Structure 1
Amino acid sequence: MTEGAGMRVARAWLAAAAMALAGGTAAAQPAAERPLRLVLNVGLQNLDPIAGPSFVTRNFAYMVWDTLVAMDGQGGYRPQMLESWSASDDRLTWTFTLRPGLVWSDGAPVTAEDCVASLRRWGGRDGLGRRLLAATKDLKATGPDTFVLELSRPFGPVIEALGKPSVHVPFVMPARIASATPPTQQVQEIVGSGPYLFVREEWVPGERTVFRRNPAYRPRDEPADGLAGGKAAHFERVEFLTLTDPSVRVSALRRGEVDYLEYAPIDSLGLLRRDRNVVIANPGSIAQIMGAVSVNHLQPPFDNPLVRRALQQVLDQRETVAALGLPEGMHHARCLSMFMCGGPYASDAGAEALREPSLERARELLAEAGYKGERVAFMHPADSVLINPMALVLIDRMRRAGFNLDVFTSDWSSIAQRWLSREPVERGGWSVVPVVYTGFDMSDPLANPGTGYNCTGNVPWSYCDAEMAPLLQAFEAEADPAKRREIAAAIQARAHAAATFPLSGQFSSPAAWRAELRGVVDFGFPVMWNIRRAPAR
């Protein structure tokens, strides 16, 4: 479907929703029975959070699956599906116990075997998960509700790995599905134990996703806090929608046709802040966003590190972030930390050559690399309100530097599928995909997309720097915080030298929701539980 056709569908749907809310059957419904409607940044195509690396898939997954451990609003880790865990004195043997009464949406009980199979599948895809399994001597169920992780060598962030909050999240699935599906292939059956159930028959890929409350879900007793605590589902129906036009998103929110925007369009923040019926989120540093550029390390010309360094010189963050039109205080003039400025591992290590980017220097590096104008397939996601303006700046500067760009402009869902291709450009492959990640993904060297997946082949850009490998091993085994910061700085220096994941700038892009919603968890990405709608007056 073209973007124009998608907009016509969206406008027609919203018009029907508005009529219903104004005078149709929905108007007679109690507030809690009206659907909760979230507008996503981009459309949902991939339903598997292990096979798919997109935030939109992560958002979907938190509705239908659950995790063993969850991050709270302060960055701590708490039991979620687990009742408890314990570690031996040498921290090489970990015992985990599930909380009682957990069931799958098909009625079967959740078991320790499900946990083991899910962790093995996740560990075959995720960078941090792969490192955990590489340090594992044995992972096995010891009873219906207990399993044991036995390490072969020290691995500090065991709980942090199990509670990883963003791509790829170690969601627990039934063993019969997790064991039968390779981590690079999508699961065909959505059977979860989370607060909501996926309504497949109403799914319109890329446009609308529908959920209904899971009556069998048992939330924890403690209050919701970040991704932890009680995931109480107060709405019988939740809808994820895609509206490609930012102005339509804003007007739909202000009129009450939708309830929540994953990202408020930046040029509308002033208007929304003046609207007493709208609340603007206040994301902290770990919830801020880092723009970056994934480049295909497997294909020419970016298999040459000099060409990747030329791209680093193209990326003037003052221009790329300025294109977003952010208000003062919502962006960094320049952030050269792979692990987020303001994060626990922030540093300037290895960034000297990047402080003053130069198109002239980019041209020199291209000449040194022997670049002869080979075609560069640039994937431009025009439907992303965050990526699109930065991509336009990048396209202009890359062309001025001498790159021969072939720009493929489409929606993110289509680009995300092509992004997974290993084919050369002339057979439908890709060269450059501009992306955004949050601090949840970027701030830890073992999870960072530009460091934690080194030599794993588990991200589309497939980088591998031999000198980074022992540094990552040292970091994962080190327990002393000061020494971990020193190692993280060395990892960052290698990432900049190899140009594994060039950075385009750090900024905030807050969510926005209707003021009538109560109990919204402001975490940095959509959390659809714990929310109630205030009764109409």
Structure 2
Amino acid sequence: MKLLPAAALPMPALGQDTRSRTLRFVPSTSLVSLDPVMSTALVAVQHGYYVFDTLYGVDAQMRPKPQMAERHEVSDDGRSWTIRLREGLRFHDGEPVRARDCAASLERWSRRDVYGRVYGAAVDRYETPDDRTLRIHLKRPFPLLLDAIGKPHSSPAFIMPERIVKAAPDTPIKEVIGSGPYRFLANEFDSGNLVAYAKFDGYKPRDEAPEWTSGGKVAHFERIEWRVITDNSTAVAALQQGEVDWLENLPADLEPLVARSRDVRIENADPLGTELVMRFNHTTAPFNNPALRRFVMQVARQVDYLATVTGGNPKAWQECRAMFPCPIPGVQELGRDQFGRLAGDEKAMREALKATGYKGEKVVILNPADSTALAPLGPVTAALLQQAGLNVDLVDMDWGTLLQRRLSKAPVEEGGWSIFHSTWPSIAIANPVTNTTLRGEGAKGWPGWYESAEMERLTSEWMNATDKGAQERLQTEIHQLALRDVPTLPLGIYFPHTAYRTSLTGVLGGSVRYPWNVRRA
């Protein structure tokens, strides 16, 4: 493939010293939502970690670790948690971080996030006896409280100023002010082109070594620029020629070319991988029919999707015929006999389709043409469903437009939709509570709006089980119910690669690309 010259990429005029203190990063998609609590999009979460901080983070074993918190105490009956804030925490506007900011942030987050709603249902009230003390009173013991407020992805419990939270209780925030290592430069924000951040000199990092979202978040660059480059060839050429420093996701088809460069390092971004998923709209025909959703599960071959996304590199993906990510310890492939069992058998597919009661309704697939990871998936699904006998319309658009259109519950003839594809870091959907793709919350849940009182009941029982054996039994029941209802169709696990100039050191692993600890050698 011919690479476009990096000179085609517009860059600001910077002096040599300014360039050395500026990190230029190419995100995988445009940043549309600036509120990482309102949006589950990976790019919004990544933006959130630049600007905001959390009371607790996690290490690589997903163990909660104090972050903004100094320590905590739990009452003997398990119904009161007292969290003491670290001294010297400040927001980017100069105001100190107070316990009431934390209470307001947690309350808002608990109405939006799938884990947060479980946590929020257990909360009776918040108490802030002084500026550094947050007391959470519970209706019942909630042993996984720190796991909830410390979850790394998606929609982490980011702490924001109380005044901003209360001005936007159920709408996106109007001001992007946090207490994280970088300040968002709102005056330079140009969605689809540039996102800029400046080092926050008032940030006080922890003393521990950084690991995932925990430890010392030391900012070594004075400025970080996100350069949105939708053409993969241009992005790779810019990286090779040093016009940018870091590509969030390296396109699989260009990896062999980049691998020959001595000035670029390629790494597996997340050892637990990322799950590709096909999300159905449960509120309108034809996928309000569970038999048709099961049919798609039986005709789709994961290898077709995985090979497309990874450029055919078998070391970069893993088939996973399960409703939970296989890299997570304990997950079993309970769908081994169902996933793809009719694939390639046209006669069997036609007969099975007829048995679903499908009446020829149009299937509208929303496809984000500007996303390296997602753009190839829409055409694979369109070809598959057309071969199987469905009436398919593949609609290309940018990711931001897709995020807006997927909120519509209208019939497809009135601007609605049937299918979109997405990705989830395995760690974000590792258990029944956090697995947004399976939760049956209906209108409160992820677009697609799968509703199942049975799924929610089993999830609640799993959450409250104190015996490991009971949890395993309940997770199996949840898994079997998901195989029957197919809220979302998993398409396998791939291991995205990130690429950066060898002049950078300190790049950390995790579910997103973190800005701290990275420096120029």
TM-score range, shorter chain: over 0.9
**Secondary structure of 1:204's aligned partner:** coil
Q: Is residue 297 from structure 1 mapped to residue 282 from structure 2 by the alignment?
A: yes
Q: Is residue 180 from structure 1 mapped to residue 167 from structure 2 by the alignment?
A: yes
**Secondary structure of 2:176's aligned partner:** coil
1:64-108 deviation digits (Å, cap 9, x = unpaired): 111111112332221111111122234332111111111111222
- Give distance in 2, aligned partners of 1:345 and 1:115: 34
State the Cα distance separating 1:236 from its structure 2 match. 1.1
Q: Is residue 195 from structure 1 mapped to residue 181 from structure 2 by the alignment?
A: yes
State the Cα distance separating 1:293 from its structure 2 match. 0.8
Change in Cα spacing, 1:435 to 1:269, as seen in structure 2 (3 Å) is same
- Matched-pair contact (CA < 8 Å) for 2:437–2:446: no
Q: Is residue 335 from structure 1 mapped to residue 320 from structure 2 by the alignment?
A: yes
Residue of 437, 441, 449 corresponding to 1:450: 437
State the Cα distance separating 1:361 from its structure 2 match. 5.1
- Give distance in 1, aligned partners of 2:8 and 2:203: 31
Equivalent residue letter for 1:173: M
Change in Cα spacing, 1:361 to 1:143, as seen in structure 2 (3 Å) is farther
Written as runs of structure 1 = structure 2, the 5 A alignment for 1:303-382 is: 303-324=288-309, 325-332=311-318, 334-354=319-339, 356-358=341-343, 360=347, 362-382=349-369
Residue of 28, 33, 53 corresponding to 2:40: 53
Aligned to 1:208: 194
Segments of 5+ residues of structure 2 without an aligned counterpart are none
Q: Is residue 242 from structure 1 mapped to residue 242 from structure 2 by the alignment?
A: no
- Matched-pair contact (CA < 8 Å) for 1:281–1:522: no
- Matched-pair contact (CA < 8 Å) for 1:321–1:390: no
- Give distance in 1, aligned partners of 2:493 and 2:335: 18
Aligned to 1:149: 136
1:307-357 deviation digits (Å, cap 9, x = unpaired): 21122123211211122224232211x202222112124112355322524
Equivalent residue letter for 1:230: G
Aligned to 1:529: 516
1:465-485 deviation digits (Å, cap 9, x = unpaired): 232122101111123334323
- Give distance in 2, aligned partners of 1:221 and 1:192: 20
Change in Cα spacing, 1:357 to 1:383, as seen in structure 2 (3 Å) is farther
Change in Cα spacing, 1:350 to 1:465, as seen in structure 2 (3 Å) is farther
Q: Is residue 72 from structure 1 mapped to residue 59 from structure 2 by the alignment?
A: yes
- Give distance in 2, aligned partners of 1:439 and 1:91: 30
- Matched-pair contact (CA < 8 Å) for 1:92–1:154: yes
Change in Cα spacing, 1:453 to 1:263, as seen in structure 2 (3 Å) is farther
Residue of 228, 231, 240 corresponding to 1:254: 240
Aligned to 2:213: 227
**Could you tell which deviates more after superposition, 239-248 or 343-352?**
343-352
- Matched-pair contact (CA < 8 Å) for 1:127–1:453: no
Equivalent residue letter for 2:400: S
Aligned to 1:483: 470
- Give distance in 1, aligned partners of 2:450 and 2:148: 22
- Give distance in 2, aligned partners of 1:337 and 1:84: 38
Change in Cα spacing, 1:112 to 1:456, as seen in structure 2 (3 Å) is farther
**Secondary structure of 1:172's aligned partner:** coil
State the Cα distance separating 1:31 from its structure 2 match. 6.2
- Give distance in 2, aligned partners of 1:355 and 1:496: 13
Change in Cα spacing, 1:345 to 1:137, as seen in structure 2 (3 Å) is farther
Change in Cα spacing, 1:453 to 1:160, as seen in structure 2 (3 Å) is farther
State the Cα distance separating 1:186 from its structure 2 match. 1.1
State the Cα distance separating 1:220 from its structure 2 match. 1.3
Written as runs of structure 1 = structure 2, the 5 A alignment for 1:369-448 is: 369-448=356-435
Change in Cα spacing, 1:83 to 1:465, as seen in structure 2 (3 Å) is same
State the Cα distance separating 1:239 from its structure 2 match. 0.8
Runs of 4+ in 1 over 6 A off after TM superposition: 10-13
**Secondary structure of 1:59's aligned partner:** helix
**Could you tell which deviates more after superposition, 60-69 or 263-272?**
263-272
Equivalent residue letter for 2:235: R
- Give distance in 1, aligned partners of 2:101 and 2:437: 30
Written as runs of structure 1 = structure 2, the 5 A alignment for 1:155-166 is: 155-166=142-153
Change in Cα spacing, 1:362 to 1:465, as seen in structure 2 (3 Å) is farther
**Could you tell which deviates more after superposition, 473-482 or 514-523?**
473-482
1:345-394 deviation digits (Å, cap 9, x = unpaired): 41123553225243655544442333222122210111111112222211
Equivalent residue letter for 2:293: R
Equivalent residue letter for 1:14: L
- Matched-pair contact (CA < 8 Å) for 2:299–2:339: no
State the Cα distance separating 1:49 from its structure 2 match. 1.0
- Matched-pair contact (CA < 8 Å) for 1:154–1:477: no
- Matched-pair contact (CA < 8 Å) for 2:6–2:243: no
1:242-272 deviation digits (Å, cap 9, x = unpaired): 1112222211111111111111111222233
- Give distance in 1, aligned partners of 2:160 and 2:82: 20
- Give distance in 2, aligned partners of 1:106 and 1:238: 19
TM-score (norm: length of structure 1): 0.91
- Give distance in 2, aligned partners of 1:471 and 1:248: 49
- Give distance in 2, aligned partners of 1:379 and 1:75: 33
- Matched-pair contact (CA < 8 Å) for 2:364–2:419: yes
Equivalent residue letter for 1:208: L
1:93-125 deviation digits (Å, cap 9, x = unpaired): 211111111111122211111111111111111
- Give distance in 2, aligned partners of 1:337 and 1:371: 25
Aligned to 1:26: 15
TM-score (norm: length of structure 2): 0.94
Identity, % of aligned pairs? 35
**Could you tell which deviates more after superposition, 163-172 or 346-355?**
346-355
State the Cα distance separating 1:214 from its structure 2 match. 1.1
- Give distance in 2, aligned partners of 1:432 and 1:245: 25
- Matched-pair contact (CA < 8 Å) for 2:299–2:341: no
Q: Is residue 108 from structure 1 mapped to residue 95 from structure 2 by the alignment?
A: yes
Change in Cα spacing, 1:501 to 1:107, as seen in structure 2 (3 Å) is same
Segments of 5+ residues of structure 1 without an aligned counterpart are 1-6
- Matched-pair contact (CA < 8 Å) for 1:104–1:110: yes
- Matched-pair contact (CA < 8 Å) for 1:339–1:345: no
1:477-519 deviation digits (Å, cap 9, x = unpaired): 1233343233222211111111101111111111111111121
State the Cα distance separating 1:16 from its structure 2 match. 4.2
State the Cα distance separating 1:284 from its structure 2 match. 4.8
- Give distance in 1, aligned partners of 2:492 and 2:117: 28
**Secondary structure of 1:378's aligned partner:** strand
- Matched-pair contact (CA < 8 Å) for 2:379–2:394: no
